[in-house]
Amino acid sequence: MPVITEPSALDALRRQDPELAEVILGETARQADGLQLIAAENFTSPAVLAALGSPLANKYAEGYPGARHHGGCEIVDVAERMAVERAKALFGAAHANVQAHSGSSAVLAAYAVLLRPGDTVLAMGLPSGGHLTHGSPANFSGRWFDFVPYGVDPESGLIDLDEVRALARAHRPKAIVCGSISYPRHIDYAAFREIADDVGAHLIADAAHPIGLVAGGAAPNPVPYADIVCATTHKVLRGPRGGMLLCGAELADRVDRAVFPFTQGGAQMHTIAAKAVAFGEASTPAFTGYAHQVVANARVLAAALEAEGFAVTTGGTDTHLVTVDPAPLGDGGSDGGGVDGRTARGRLASAGIVLDTCALPYGEGRGLRLGTAAVTTQGMGETEMARIAVLLSGVVRDAFDGRAVREEVRDLAGRFPPYPGG
């Protein structure tokens, strides 16, 4: 069974609440028993899990190191300072705030620093891969600000920088957001900086997905170009679920005040300690090799999926992300249309292959969004990616026997356990 916590803690949970213990053990088994291809997920190290389950979870620590609203913070202050300094060194930032509870809360804080309700913001539209915090009417962003969406070129699937520039000049936004949840190519931060400067706008980089690749030197760093960089600490970065903000010294105090007390309460010290562990791990040569392998795996997977008949958006990937349209693979139902992303996801789930759907720019229905971070953490390489593409194709086409595929998936995952020896 994979390591999920200290044995004594798990034993205590079994004694105190066996019903909940079974839920945790069941989820642990599910993660180890299939192929986890959700682009936003990964397997943290046992060291990160240990920090998350530590007594630091008991400590209330509103405020910042040296200026807390509660006593007894001398030791947890050390953990937060460690996380801050490691993040600054890892990304070359003058300032880091590691208290954000999530990527979305980091974006909220960035908006609080640079915008006021009613301001105009230019960001990637949701159909092209924008996030909920980039102007969805169901989200605070779409209710508080006037978002103008930019998209991608309908032929190449790439960000149309000419359109971004034209929209910026036409609408004169207070801020421009660059970032996406399903755009598989590197973002040209220098070009976005030039456009922002041209119209006097702030530049916010939402780097939740590529920040782990940035840490490993496998993707461009937005820090030198953006006024504020928002990111998560999980995904490819392989830390605990949480957020962070990176900025220059001139915005440091405003960013900190925007996180606490403006948008959040007390810091989660166990999570901050786990972030420190992850930043330390990401500064090693081993993580650099991992990040580059994530990209190599994604490129092989994209090429193999295209060979199997999937329509791969942008023709490939530069990152851990692969987005595809499964429609060309065949019949999705009684209407005679191509298989839709939701149908494909359901078929794959029954075979133990877990992934997400995503919007398809200028397309109908939904596509599939895959990521290679978790399977790369497990030690899988290009050979396994090619085989996974064949399994995906056969299951989506409904051409493979589901039970046989499930057994092969289980065998493949068993040969690459997320926590060997656990």
Residues acting as catalytic residues: 60, 62, 206, 232, 235, 241
User: For the stretch 396-419, what's the b/e string if a residue is b when 16 or more beta carbons lie within 10 angstroms of its beta carbon?
Assistant: bbeebeeeebbeebbebbeebebb
Distances (CA, A) of 346 to 341, 402, 408: 9, 12, 18
How far, in Å, CA of 77 to CA of 98, rounded?
Answer: 12
How far, in Å, CA of 212 to CA of 104, rounded?
Answer: 17
How far, in Å, CA of 338 to CA of 329, rounded?
Answer: 7
- Cβ(389)–Cβ(308) under 8 Å? yes
Torsion on CA atoms 226, 227, 233, 235, rounded to nearest 10: -30
- Cβ(3)–Cβ(419) under 8 Å? yes
- Cβ(192)–Cβ(164) under 8 Å? yes
User: For residue 115, which of 136, 137, 138, 146 has the smallest C-alpha distance?
Assistant: 146
Grouping H, G, I as helix, E, B as strand and the rest as coil, residue 183 is coil
**Number of residues written out for the chain:** 422
Three-class HEC string of 257-309: HHHHHHHCCCCCHHHHHHHHHHHHHHCCHHHHHHHHHHHHHHHHHHHHHHHCC
